[in-house]
Amino acid sequence: MTLLKKIKSIPFFIKLFNWEYWPFAVVYSPIYIVWCWYSLKAKSFFFFGASNPTIKNSGFLMESKKEIDALLPDQYKPLTLFFSFDTKPEIIIDGIRANKLNYPLIIKPDIGMQGKAVVKVNNGYELISAASRFSVDYIIQPFVAFPKEMGIFYVRYPDEEKGKITGIVEKEFLTVTGDGVSTIEQLLNQTPRYILQLPVLRKTLGERMNTILKREEEEVLVPYGNHVRGSLFVDSTYKNNAQLEALIDKVCKSVNGFYYGRLDIRFNSFEELVADKNWSIIELNGAGSEPTHMYDPKHSLFFAWKEIIRHWKMLYEISMQNNKKGYSFLSYSDGKKMLKDNTRLVKKLDEIKFEMPNNHRAPVLKMNSHLNIAR
């Protein structure tokens, strides 16, 4: 291994040489003056509070996934079950059975961000083990098994009938391909963005990291498209067409009070998606949404700044139009409380850790031996 290649495999330098891994504050600080300018014009730092009036804080921070889910059309969403963090295991299992949910399932915080504390579980033992680690309320959904994931940024001005797509990102999951010789950990070490995931994967996969995959055998190690969890984001805005835009516009207009944000969806193929077949919304994000197509490694930081500012302008204009219709901005006291609550929440989410022991059933069986847990 050459010196340069060795340097590029060190986590510190991987992050240093790729702006997409820089801290949020470092990326955004140089352009905060633009946000301040819009705040000055609106006479409110929290002007975005009028952008999506039916969503708490317009979906900027601290919004409930359960409450947003209630706004989505039934045919485009998975069933969502809500549980408080202290729910007893038998109630969770009863809820899964009563709703006839099949494994695998996805557990995620009801209020969350950046894929923090999201986990896929394959049976009742993993479900109860994972749920027991939550210190915040959470939701459980069927795992949407469509193979592809995409984020579609949607904007509609309240004074206009038709909305538009302003960005599309496709997400390539953290996946390794076997060579018949290398272990999963050795394969991960061959890709810089995967090297950053090694500390977490060692805990969640345990001994599985030592598995040798057959030649050309593929294994998806993180089955959801989150940048922080190792997914590659690919700018696919060029795929937008009149048929897709009409579909997304129709769906988003059916969500009462939604004007600005991103739909994260799973789908089978792009052809079926534009034909309104075999796709599902897995999450709707509001005013706090990033134009995540900017995280494509081919894009520069200057491109990212341009896209952020472009979307902030639309957010400001939508908020001002809604404000004229009688929807208020978020008050300073409510905005300050939102930021403080979010800081506390992030700390809690970062403390939630999932580990997969070598024999992942044994410790959970001992803890829940009185439960009749279906696999």
Q: Where are the alpha helices (DSSP H) in 81-238?
A: 89-98, 124-131, 184-188, 192-195, 198-205
What pLDDT is recorded for position 374? 47
Q: Which domain holds residue 56?
A: 3-78+145-173+223-330
Q: How far apart are CA 56 and CA 69, in angstroms?
A: 13
Residue 122 lies in a domain: no
Residue 88 lies in a domain: no
Residues of the chain with pLDDT under 70: 1, 3-4, 355-375
Total count of domains within the chain:
1
What pLDDT is recorded for position 56? 97
Q: How far apart are CA 10 and CA 3, in angstroms?
A: 11
Residue 9 lies in a domain: yes
Residue 126 lies in a domain: no
Q: How far apart are CA 253 and CA 163, in angstroms?
A: 8
Task: Tell me which residue has tokens 């059975």.
Answer: 97
By residue count, the chain amounts to: 375
Q: Which residues of 58-95 are buried (b: 16+ CB within 10 A; e: fewer)?
A: bbbbbbbbbebbebbeeebbbebbbbebeeebeebbee
Output the pTM of the full model: 0.92
Q: How far apart are CA 65 and CA 77, in angstroms?
A: 12
The tokens for 157 are: 């001005």
What pLDDT is recorded for position 238? 98
Residue 375 lies in a domain: no
Residue 282 lies in a domain: yes
Residue 129 lies in a domain: no
For residue 33, the domain's CATH number is 3.30.470.20
Residue 210 lies in a domain: no
Which one, of 63, 23, 69, 39, lies nearest residue 289 by Cα?
Answer: 63
